[in-house]
Amino acid sequence: MTMHNFVTRANALFAYAFSCLAIATLGCFLTASLESAVPSVDIRVNNPVVGDLRQFHHIQKSYDRASFTFDIDADLSPLFNWNTKQLFLYMTAEYKTRKNRLNQVVVWDQIVLRNSGADRFNLSNVQLKYPFFDDGHGLLKNKDVTLALHWNVIPVAGLLPRVADGHVKVEFGDYYQPWQ
C-alpha cells in the first residue's frame, strides 16, 4: 500500500484549495470593511392623513391608521463595491406615544440587486407597502413622526451592517380623514 494514492492526494489538494479560498474571503471582507460609504438620501412626504379605523365592530375600541405617499431621491452607488451582493432597503416610521416610548413600524421595503442598475433612486409618490397602524390614538395630532430609510448591505463575505440615513419629520393633522 502506498501513502500517496489518489484519495490522499485529492484530499490534500482540496484542503489546500479550501485554505486559499478562506484566506481570500477574509481578505475580501477586511478590504471592503475598511471603506466608508456615505450615500446621499433625500425623502419627502406627501399628504399625510390619519383615519379612525375600527378593527372589529363588536369591540368598542378603535385604532389610528396613517396614510401618505413619499418621494425618495437617493444615490446608493457608494454602498456598492466588489463585496456587495445586494441591498435590503426599508423605510420605518418612528414615533412616541403616551403608551409607548418608542414605536417603530416598517412601511416599505425593497431589495436592490448588485447589477440591477438601480443604485440611483428617484421614486415619486410611492404608496406604503404595509399598513401603518397605531395600537391606540397615538397618530392623531402627532407632529413628531420620523420617517427613516434604513439599509442592510448583504455582502459576498463578512458582517451584515445595518445603517440608517435620510430622516424626515411627518406631521399628522388635528382631525380624522374619512377612508375610501
What are the domain boundaries of the chain? 35-170
Residue 121, number of CB atoms within 10 A of its CB: 19
pLDDT of 54 reads: 67
pLDDT of 110 reads: 92
Q: How confident is the model over 93-105, as a mean pLDDT?
A: 89
User: What one-letter code names the amino acid at 113?
Assistant: L
Dump pLDDT digits (tens) for 116-128.
777 788 889 999 9
Q: In terms of Cα–Cα distance, which of 39, 116, 122, 52 is closest to 85?
A: 116
pLDDT band at 2 (very low <50, low <70, confident <90, very high): low
Query: Is-contact 70 126, C-beta < 8 A?
Result: yes
pLDDT band at 60 (very low <50, low <70, confident <90, very high): low
More confident residue, 164 or 139: 139
Q: In terms of Cα–Cα distance, which of 159, 166, 151 is closest to 79?
A: 151
pLDDT of 99 reads: 83
pLDDT at 145 over 70: yes
User: What one-letter code names the amino acid at 17?
Assistant: A
The model carries a pTM of 0.76
pLDDT of 17 reads: 94
Instruction: Report the C-alpha gap between 109 and 88 in whole angstroms.
Output: 7
More confident residue, 34 or 16: 16
pLDDT band at 4 (very low <50, low <70, confident <90, very high): confident
160 contact partners, CB below 8 Å, separation of at least 6:
152, 153, 154
pLDDT at 97 over 70: yes
Instruction: Report the C-alpha gap between 179 and 93 in whole angstroms.
Output: 20
pLDDT at 161 over 80: no
Alpha-carbon radius of gyration of the chain: 24
Q: Which of 10-24, 29-43, 63-77, 82-96 has the lowest mean pLDDT?
A: 29-43
| Cell reading at 57 | 365592530
| Cell reading at 104 | 417603530
